[in-house]
Amino acid sequence: MSRHRIRTAAAGAIILILALLGSATPASAGTLDVTCTPPSSVAVTYDPPLTASPQTVTSTTNQQYGPCVSASVPGLTSGSRFTVVTSSGLSCLELLAARPFGFTITWNTGQTSTISGNLVANLSGGVLTVTVTGTVTSGLFAGDTVVQQQVGAATDLTLCTLGQGTVSSHYGLVTLEITSV
């Protein structure tokens, strides 16, 4: 099967999974301050590519949020996050480890939201689902709760965890909800 057909099939599977997951979003007692839905996405590259053996790796993350809708900040329509991090002892197995996770979103309004939370990853059937739950610790929406979910095809990650390949990058569609408490 060609790479194009594999990617097309994977994209279709991702859209189906997101549709199914969309109905599984937990209800909250607060007010939804902002929601961002696909085509919101994240692309991460690894240099050198990840293997099953730990090594020093530079990860570059480019995350785009949008379209976003906010009842409390009507002009907020999109956001982004760009980071470059060098980590020692990184392997494809570490991508699946639960861990504390923080990041900052820069909104199209020029404001920022710094988020602190926990990351849980699940690899099943060649699909990687990464969920971050936490709170906005500073900036716009400070004190609000956050749920961000990323879903993407990860056949190369599956092979890497079995010691049969490498991971040079991955891509996922993102859903973000920030809710007042």
**Structure confidence at residue 30 as a pLDDT band (50, 70, 90):** confident
pLDDT, tens digit (0-9, with 9 covering 90-100), for 140-174: 999 999 999 999 999 999 999 999 999 999 999 99
End-to-end CA distance of the chain: 49
The pLDDT assigned to 181 comes to: 86
The pLDDT assigned to 29 comes to: 61
Structural domain total, the chain? 1
The residue segments making up the domain with residue 139 are 3-179
> Does residue 27 register a pLDDT over 50?
no
Query: Does residue 74 have a cis bond before it (omega within 30 degrees)?
Result: no
* Nearest-angstrom CA–CA distance, 28 and 22: 14
The pLDDT assigned to 142 comes to: 97
Name every residue whose Cβ is closer than 8 Å to that of residue 106 and which is 6 or more positions away in sequence.
Answer: 79, 80, 81, 112
* Nearest-angstrom CA–CA distance, 98 and 32: 26
> Does residue 13 register a pLDDT over 60?
no
Mean pLDDT over each residue of the chain, to the nearest integer: 87
- Residue pair 155/29 in contact (Cβ under 8 Å)? The answer is no
The pLDDT assigned to 20 comes to: 34
**Bridge-partner residues for 172, per DSSP?**
42
> Does residue 15 register a pLDDT over 90?
no
The pLDDT assigned to 81 comes to: 97
Structure tokens at 99: 């861990």
pLDDT, tens digit (0-9, with 9 covering 90-100), for 66-102: 999 998 999 999 999 999 999 999 999 999 999 999 9
> Does residue 12 register a pLDDT over 50?
no
> Does residue 2 register a pLDDT over 60?
no
Choose between 157 and 14: higher pLDDT: 157
